Chains A and B, each alone.
Chain A
């Protein structure tokens, strides 16, 4: 019985990456390496105004003074920042008016990815902004959204067309000086998405961005900025893939969310960057800074993430609860297999009165991987009646993996109520036995239990994504789980 379980777990934990194809189209690259010239090259190539170049250069100069952080519970060989191509764009004119004008190779890529830019998307009501190797290729449904005053476009377009909005909000939540990778991103970011929901508008469809790193030796540095004016609502999805390569690639993105009074932003991520092969070669270094601010009263920000890819994940989507009665949520499933390392979690900073936050984190480790939850719940001196509940559970599949929890809880107000609980366990033999007894074979039972373990988080995902995420969970751990 025990051995049989081990075998199944072995099978379960040894499957292949299914998004590992490379698309061949000509790209327009920046020379390898990073210097002020690279920053100027990127800015010039994107035809940016002077203030933007100034912003980038300031960030770059600050970055030079910073040290790469060593506190995360991950280990990797030192990154040579001069060996990376900081800008890589598919080399054709992208001013496409209809989908037919897009490079067929590119379209095939999207079809392989399963994201369709076709009309059929209308049925599922998802507007997509696809970013390949740093450059935003296309945005669908732009006109329809425009009728309601919603702006959903690539970051470079936003800089050209809505400079006042970008200038006001860019870097207001994650300043370039925040940390090593946010400074790097601010200096060299090449594109990303910008989203603006005007006052009182409820965005009629899910907005979505698809990121893909395609060219070798490139880093992807995208920048996302979402602004929700008072009383508005938006649900935003983000998905990522990359081809299989032997060397490691760097992905250092920054996401900023701003929710004003009574606004709500729901941000969901399905992250499936290439995790490296079974020996731990290659894979993406996913060093991402994500932060939202509930700037007005009664605002709400909700992060949901399903993390299955990347060889190293370093990511803490956070919420600053500044407005009174504001609400922050974080739901996460992180799966690590083979030699993957994940150090992920959240920060909830309670500043306003009567603020609430909720954290649900589920970690699944298999193979030789290490999975860490690292979180901070902070209640400031004047944040009276703050409420937090955190739960982080870990599931271990295999005896060579690790699961770690590092929750920091800092409370300075005596009316706060903060609870934290965490458990670590493996799939119980009694649980499997119970399923066997009901005629469910061990393999299905494992799948069932894992799905049940992650369900609380999966339920938070929008419908279309929940299906994809569940499939991903299955693929990451094996073909038949799910």
Chain B
């Protein structure tokens, strides 16, 4: 399998359209790394609980043509009440300017194909920041995305602008003609004192199954405020490996919310690199799973500079045969004194055949720090359930009330109202919550 996949991608690599020669070297590096590292197997510590190599057993169709989707088909995926918002559409991992709709003024926001940005005025920024995440993910999957960087997007939030409307990024995969494989690549850059919100949403057309291997790198300059949302709500055949890599280059605030509601095999990597003093970051995650969905959240908080604050809360409810994985790493480098880093992971197992694997991890090289992590795995408190029942609430309602309350902790951190209502609606429906 390993060998076949290698051959397949090496062949495809030489076939891909090389219109942006500015990224040719970058891609070649990616291919070299991929050939060196290969597809991670279960023996790979970072992929211990997620058998990603099995996905490569599928007969992959790697279609880089973005024209197969109509506007009407796209509309069926649109999040409600976002008609007036900017939407960027990637089809099979390739940016489609025709389907995209940029409502923001160019004074606020600039969107360019990644190749164009690399060759033009922003070439220096792209060169400096694209690929920074590779050091944190020495595995073939990440390298594979780099090797096939094609049709990516460059998003620039202009300095001193408060951009109130979020930017919605839709990833549409077309699996009507076979198991679809897509590799989107995005670089977002928030200039000084810019406020920017990004929302990523995923959809698959067709029933053949899909595999999206995404890398998004986000750079936040001093005094910027950056909110990032990732909402996963796809069919059971949609698989996903995504890396979100956030760098804080100045004292700024970054928030990330990852919501996984359904899908096949999902792996979310979220990195917060605190490269400036006094940075602050918040990371929230909710995974509400049923069926055979497998969700693996890997987070890294790397405290490079002193006086940073980070807080992390991930919550999961596993029903039926689903599996939840959480691996949270906090690194505190030797110079990063006075770091405060907190991490918490809470899980409820509902299904008889559900399981959870969690590994909260601290690696600390500075002494003057306050770091903690906690994790719990359990079931609903029987006394609380009993209390609700004594008040005349049926067992079923009591349970959904408690589960909803458990999930709301995370939901409250979604700032765009429309998005929050949308997610809450799905969760309430799933939990049979109608109060």
Chain A residues in the interface with B (C-beta under 8 A): 71, 381, 394, 396-426
**Residue numbers in B under 8 Å from A423 (CB-CB):** 370-372
Residue in B45, B372, B376 whose beta carbon sits within 8 Å of that of A71 in the complex: B45
The contact string, 1 if C-beta is below 8 Å from chain A, for chain B 351-388, is: 11111111111111111111111111111000000000
Q: Contacts A404-B363, A414-B351 given: A409-B375 contact, CB under 8 Å? A: yes
Q: How large is the interface on B (under 10, 10 to 19, 20 to 34, 35 or more residues)?
A: 35 or more
Say whether B350 faces chain A, with CB atoms less than 8 Å apart.
yes
Q: Are A426 and B376 in contact (CB under 8 A)?
A: no
Say whether B258 faces chain A, with CB atoms less than 8 Å apart.
no
Q: Are B369 and A414 in contact (CB under 8 A)?
A: no
Q: Are A407 and B363 in contact (CB under 8 A)?
A: no
CB distance from A444 to the nearest CB of B (A): 21
Q: Are A425 and B370 in contact (CB under 8 A)?
A: yes
Closest residue on chain A to residue B362 by CB atoms: A405
**Residue numbers in A under 8 Å from B368 (CB-CB):** 399, 426
Closest residue on chain A to residue B332 by CB atoms: A424
Additional A-B contact list (6), CB under 8 Å, known A396-B364, A405-B373, A423-B370: A397-B367, A399-B334, A399-B366, A410-B355, A422-B374, A425-B371
CB distance from A164 to the nearest CB of B (A): 40
Q: Are B370 and A414 in contact (CB under 8 A)?
A: no
CB distance from A182 to the nearest CB of B (A): 20
CA distance A406 to B364 in the complex (A): 12
CB distance from A346 to the nearest CB of B (A): 15
Closest residue on chain A to residue B374 by CB atoms: A421
Say whether B220 faces chain A, with CB atoms less than 8 Å apart.
no
**Residue numbers in B under 8 Å from A419 (CB-CB):** 374-378
Q: Are B367 and A414 in contact (CB under 8 A)?
A: no
**Residue numbers in A under 8 Å from B361 (CB-CB):** 404-407
Q: Are A403 and B364 in contact (CB under 8 A)?
A: yes
CA distance A422 to B87 in the complex (A): 42
Say whether B349 faces chain A, with CB atoms less than 8 Å apart.
yes
Say whether B337 faces chain A, with CB atoms less than 8 Å apart.
yes
The contact string, 1 if C-beta is below 8 Å from chain A, for chain B 381-412, is: 00000000000000000000000000000000
Closest residue on chain A to residue B346 by CB atoms: A419
CA distance A401 to B363 in the complex (A): 11
CA distance A88 to B316 in the complex (A): 56
CB distance from B219 to the nearest CB of A (A): 29
Closest residue on chain A to residue B365 by CB atoms: A402
CA distance A6 to B173 in the complex (A): 59
12 contacts between A and B (CB under 8 A): A398-B367, A399-B368, A405-B361, A406-B359, A407-B375, A411-B355, A413-B349, A416-B377, A417-B376, A418-B375, A420-B358, A423-B370
Residue in A414, A416, A424 whose beta carbon sits within 8 Å of that of B371 in the complex: A424
The contact string, 1 if C-beta is below 8 Å from chain A, for chain B 318-359, is: 000000000000000010010000000001011111111111
CB distance from A70 to the nearest CB of B (A): 11
Q: Contacts A399-B337, A401-B367, A413-B349 given: A418-B376 contact, CB under 8 Å? A: yes
CA distance A422 to B369 in the complex (A): 13
Closest residue on chain A to residue B341 by CB atoms: A424
CA distance A130 to B105 in the complex (A): 82
CB within 8 Å of A: which B214-228 residues: none
Q: Contacts A416-B377, A419-B375 given: A424-B362 contact, CB under 8 Å? A: yes
Q: Are A402 and B371 in contact (CB under 8 A)?
A: no
Q: Are B378 and A424 in contact (CB under 8 A)?
A: no
CB distance from A150 to the nearest CB of B (A): 41
**Residue numbers in B under 8 Å from A421 (CB-CB):** 372-375
**Residue numbers in A under 8 Å from B351 (CB-CB):** 414
Q: Are B359 and A408 in contact (CB under 8 A)?
A: yes
CA distance A426 to B368 in the complex (A): 6
Q: Are B349 and A422 in contact (CB under 8 A)?
A: no
Q: Are B352 and A414 in contact (CB under 8 A)?
A: yes
Q: Contacts A405-B362, A405-B373, A416-B378 given: A411-B356 contact, CB under 8 Å? A: yes
Q: Are A411 and B367 in contact (CB under 8 A)?
A: no
CA distance A396 to B368 in the complex (A): 8
CA distance A261 to B361 in the complex (A): 36
Q: Are B360 and A404 in contact (CB under 8 A)?
A: no
**Residue numbers in A under 8 Å from B371 (CB-CB):** 423-425
**Residue numbers in A under 8 Å from B360 (CB-CB):** 405, 407, 420, 422
Closest residue on chain A to residue B354 by CB atoms: A414
Closest residue on chain B to residue A377 by CB atoms: B377
CA distance A239 to B359 in the complex (A): 32
Residue in A404, A407, A414 whose beta carbon sits within 8 Å of that of B364 in the complex: A404
**Residue numbers in B under 8 Å from A415 (CB-CB):** 379
Q: Contacts A414-B351, A416-B349, A420-B375 given: A409-B366 contact, CB under 8 Å? A: no
Closest residue on chain A to residue B325 by CB atoms: A410
Q: Are B364 and A424 in contact (CB under 8 A)?
A: yes
Closest residue on chain A to residue B319 by CB atoms: A414
CB distance from A385 to the nearest CB of B (A): 10
